[in-house]
Chain A
Amino acid sequence: GAGVSQSPRYKVAKRGQDVALRCDPISGHVSLFWYQQALGQGPEFLTYFQNEAQLDKSGLPSDRFFAERPEGSVSTLKIQRTQQEDSAVYLCASSLGSGDEQYFGPGTRLTVT
């Protein structure tokens, strides 16, 4: 079956622009995670959804970052007023249940100029 998909794969934004990154999890997966991966580093946790409920947003670096999953399927990560330090790969992962293996999408590489 189809894996986790993310769009766009690449995004270039001018500093100060807003961006929206989309994640389509594997069908039927209850849990959805967003991670941020800077160059040469491991992924860092941003936020976690169980169905439509955002149960943990402790990793979001500032109030410019906002995530939603209104119908418990597709999720969007929005970054307002982008800054250069937001440049990274944003990874989405989903799992069937809360403790199951996480399957990662291909990521969105965001470059803020």
Chain B
Amino acid sequence: QKEVEQNSGPLSVPEGAIASLNCTYSDRGSQSFFWYRQYSGKSPELIMSIYSNGDKEDGRFTAQLNKASQYVSLLIRDSQPSDSATYLCAVPRPSSGSARQLTFGSGTQLTVLP
């Protein structure tokens, strides 16, 4: 089992819809979780971090964490064409301590159709 798994997509949603991106992780001891956005040919950019069970909202983005199910998701409300990108879920490696050497999923490619 891979340490971090994501549906590779591609995922297409119409403009204005909610895009739902999912991620599961294998290390039950993981305490922090990150969502990165990567535009084609560009570097990853951190958009959300979450540390506690439940929801965390930031503008149009909501991260949801369920540690019992080892599941973290990202919801994008009122999706815009500019949200079209690959979304990467990342979890610190078990051995990384406070330094957060990250393990990434393979990413979900999102396309928002105008």
Restricting to B25-71, which residues have a CB under 8 Å from any CB of A?
42-46, 49
Q: Are B43 and A107 in contact (CB under 8 A)?
A: yes
Residue of A56, A95, A106, A107 touching B96 (CB-CB under 8 A): A56
Q: Which residue from chain A places its CB closest to the CB of B46 in the assembled complex?
A: A101
Q: How large is the interface on B (under 10, 10 to 19, 20 to 34, 35 or more residues)?
A: 20 to 34
A75 at the interface (CB under 8 A from B): no
Q: Which residue from chain A places its CB closest to the CB of B88 in the assembled complex?
A: A42
Q: Are B107 and A98 in contact (CB under 8 A)?
A: no
- Interface size of A by CB at 8 A reads 25
Q: Are A104 and B43 in contact (CB under 8 A)?
A: yes
Q: Are A104 and B101 in contact (CB under 8 A)?
A: no
B102 CB → nearest A CB, Å = 6
Q: Which of the listed residues B44, B46, B88, B107 has the most CB atoms from chain A within 10 Å of its own CB?
A: B44
Residues of chain B within 8 A (CB-CB) of A95 are: 100
Residues of chain B within 8 A (CB-CB) of A102 are: 46, 100, 102
Q: Which residue from chain B places its CB closest to the CB of A109 in the assembled complex?
A: B41
Q: Are B43 and A33 in contact (CB under 8 A)?
A: no
Residue of A41, A43, A55 touching B102 (CB-CB under 8 A): A43
The 5 closest A-B pairs by CB, nearest first: A42-B104, A104-B43, A98-B99, A99-B98, A45-B101
Given A91-B43, A105-B43, 20 more pairs with CB closer than 8 A: A40-B107, A42-B104, A42-B105, A42-B107, A43-B102, A45-B103, A48-B99, A56-B96, A56-B99, A58-B95, A95-B100, A98-B97, A98-B98, A99-B99, A102-B46, A102-B100, A102-B102, A104-B44, A104-B45, A107-B43
